[in-house]
Amino acid sequence: MQMHWAEMVSAWASGIKMDTIKKTYKSMVFIENVLVDVAKCRDVNNIVRKKVQGTILTANADFSLMKKFASDIESDREVRMKKIGIIGGMSWESTAHYYTDINREIRRRLGGLCSADIVLHSVEFSHMHDLQARGKWHEAGRVLNQSALTLQNAGVDLLLLATNTMHKVVDVMLEGIHIPFLHIADCTALEIAGEGLRKVALLGTRFTMQEDFYRQRIADQAGVEVLVPQQDQQVNIDRIIFEELCVGRIEARSKKYYLDVIASLVEQGAQGVILGCTEIGLLIQPLDTEIKQFDTAKIHVRAAVDAALM
């Protein structure tokens, strides 16, 4: 059966499910051929065409994204990639991965030489760490507020804070900010909720593990019980973050320690583990645990790209 690409995108825009289209047209190959035709069509704007090419390259059958492509193509309106603002430097070891991973995800989705539109403001971490240690949280929030205002004035369309712990002061940080803010805990809770879990473990700095600004927010939004390590384990986890991971040291003994802690939390019923510090994903890899990992940095990256292409 032959079908013009416009009819196919019309079907998507009308809300016909992908499995229905597959059954009707027998083969995903046919659908992919239609996408190829869309990608080649001169009447389709360039960014939309690249998005479709990215869909072909990744064999992504995500219906909601395809429906979005269809709507863009049919209306032939300009699709503008949003400018992502990142407050980073806490530590720069993980912020560097934010920059790299966002660009890789943009290229994966759009293909070719496409890259992200990013403005990064990196704060001086030793000063921020000193404020944390002295309990000067409001002052730390004011520093981040200046960063956020700088990015807003630079014209960014959405804002990320590339650290878990400093979300403790987001209320202060967001004073005078009128652009969307992607809260790392909200993005993580959304993914956890989609897994249908009852109990998850949380690793992070001692502030993140102990205080409600993070763990209770996850518990409330994901509808799960959040388990944290014992007090002495929290001390060691926090020490490894600041003395090793934040300065680029990846130690085998520290990795074993983290995995032992995770195993002890699994024995308490944890069905997944939140890597609730953006540096922990540098130490613990997906294949290191049998339970589901929620790497907050990677989740945050995907959410940022979703928002930038929305």
> Mind telling me the catalytic residues?
163, 277
Contacts of 183 (CB under 8 A, 6+ apart): 167, 170
Distance in angstroms (rounded) separating the CA atoms of residues 195 and 272: 9
The DSSP code sequence of 52-72 is HHHHHHHT---HHHHHHHHHH
Q: In what order do the strands lie in the sheet with 84-88?
A: 118-122, 84-88, 158-161, 181-182
13 phi, psi to nearest 5 deg: -65, -25
Residue keyed to tokens 């609730």: 276
Tokens for 109?
């989705």
Tokens for 179?
């652009």
Residue keyed to tokens 């939309």: 48
Q: How far is CA 229 from CA 210, 213, 220, 270, 283, in A?
A: 10, 17, 19, 11, 17
Coil, strand or helix at 160: strand
Is residue 97 within 8 A of residue 282, CB to CB? The reply is yes
Q: Where are the alpha helices (DSSP H) in the chain?
A: 5-13, 18-25, 28-40, 46-58, 63-75, 92-110, 125-133, 137-153, 170-173, 184-195, 206-210, 212-222, 231-243, 252-267, 296-309
